[in-house]
C-alpha cells in the first residue's frame, strides 16, 4: 500500500514572514491528514518554515539542489546545506528548471543520485510538452526521462527513497489539466517503465500527478489507482486551498 504524498511547490513566492504565516495557518488544517504533507519553499524561507512546522506533520522541501558536495558553483546549494536547514525533500527536474535554466536529463540524474545518497528524498519531475503529446510521443518520453533520472540507483532506493512527479508541461500554470483517466494512464506507463528495469520496486515507488491539481479536481485524480499524490503549484499558496487538496479523501 503506497502512502499518498501531497507536496506544495511554492515556486518564487513568499517572503520568510509570509511563509511562516502560511504554514502556521496550514498546520491545524492538515493535522489529521492521511497522506504525507510537504511544502517546497524558496531557500530564503527555510529557517522561518522549519521553525513554524516544528511539532507538526508538515515536512520541508527545497526546489532544487546541486549534485556536488561543494565548490565553485555560484548560486547553488548542496545536499548538506539543505539537510542542515531541516530540508527532507527536494524537487528536481521541474519543467521550469529545464525550460529556463538549462536542466537536462543528465543533470537531473546527477542531482537525483546525489540527493538519495545524501539522505534526501527527491521529487523527480517528468512530463511532455503539448506538441509532444499531440505527436504521440508522451509514453516514450516520460519513460525515457524517468529511467535516465533513476540511472545509478538500486531497486530498493527507487522503491523507498524516490518520488516521481508526472507533470504534463502543457498543464502547468495554465489551468488546463489532464483528465483523471489520462493522468492515470500515463502514470501507469511510467510505473511499467520502472518495472522493466527495477522489477517489483515499481509497485512501491510513489508517483504524483502535478498538472494544475486543485481543490476541485483532487478527489477525482486521487481516486485513480496509479496516482499516489500531487505536486501542487498555485493551490499550495493558500492554506485553505492546499488543505482541501491534502484532504482529498474527506
Active site residues per annotation: 94, 167
Strands (E) across 58-203 are located at 58-62, 89-92, 121-126, 163-166
Q: Hey, is 85 helix, strand or coil?
A: coil
User: Residue 107: helix, strand or coil by DSSP?
Assistant: helix
183 to each of 94, 138, 148, 226, how far by Cα in Å?
Answer: 17, 11, 21, 9
Task: Provide the b/e sequence for 29-43 (b: ≥16 CB within 10 Å).
Answer: bbeebebbbbbbbbe
Three-state DSSP at 58 gives strand
Element holding 122 (H helix, E strand): strand 121-126
Widest CA span of the chain, in angstroms? 49
Question: What are 156's three cell numbers?
Answer: 530498493
Amino acid at each position: 500500500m503506497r502512502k499518498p504524498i501531497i507536496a506544495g511547490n511554492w515556486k518564487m513566492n513568499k517572503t520568510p514572514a509570509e511563509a511562516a504565516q502560511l504554514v502556521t495557518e496550514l498546520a491545524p488544517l492538515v493535522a489529521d491528514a492521511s497522506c504525507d504533507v510537504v511544502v517546497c519553499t524558496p531557500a530564503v524561507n527555510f529557517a522561518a518554515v522549519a521553525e513554524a512546522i516544528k511539532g507538526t506533520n508538515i515536512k520541508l522541501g527545497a526546489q532544487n539542489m546541486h549534485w556536488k558536495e561543494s565548490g565553485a558553483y555560484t548560486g547553488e546549494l548542496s545536499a548538506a546545506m539543505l539537510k542542515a536547514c531541516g530540508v527532507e525533500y527536494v524537487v528536481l527536474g521541474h519543467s521550469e528548471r529545464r525550460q529556463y535554466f538549462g536542466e537536462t536529463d543528465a543533470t537531473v540524474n546527477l542531482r537525483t543520485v546525489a540527493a538519495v545518497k545524501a539522505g534526501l528524498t527527491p521529487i523527480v519531475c517528468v512530463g511532455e510538452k503539448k506538441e509532444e503529446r499531440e505527436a504521440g510521443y508522451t509514453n516514450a518520453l516520460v519513460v525515457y526521462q524517468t529511467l535516465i533520472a533513476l540511472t545509478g540507483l538500486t531497486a530498493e532506493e527507487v522503491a523507498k527513497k524516490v518520488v516521481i512527479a508526472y507533470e504534463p508541461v502543457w498543464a502547468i500554470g495554465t489551468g488546463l489539466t489532464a483528465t483523471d483517466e489520462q493522468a492515470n494512464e500515463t502514470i501507469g506507463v511510467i510505473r511499467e517503465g520502472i518495472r522493466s528495469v527495477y522489477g517489483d520496486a515499481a509497485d512501491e515507488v510513489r508517483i504524483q500527478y502535478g498538472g494544475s491539481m486543485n481543490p476541485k479536481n483532487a478527489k477525482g485524480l486521487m481516486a485513480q489507482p496509479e496516482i499516489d499524490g500531487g505536486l501542487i503549484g498555485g493551490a499550495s499558496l493558500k492554506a485553505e486551498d492546499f488543505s482541501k487538496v491534502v484532504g482529498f479523501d474527506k
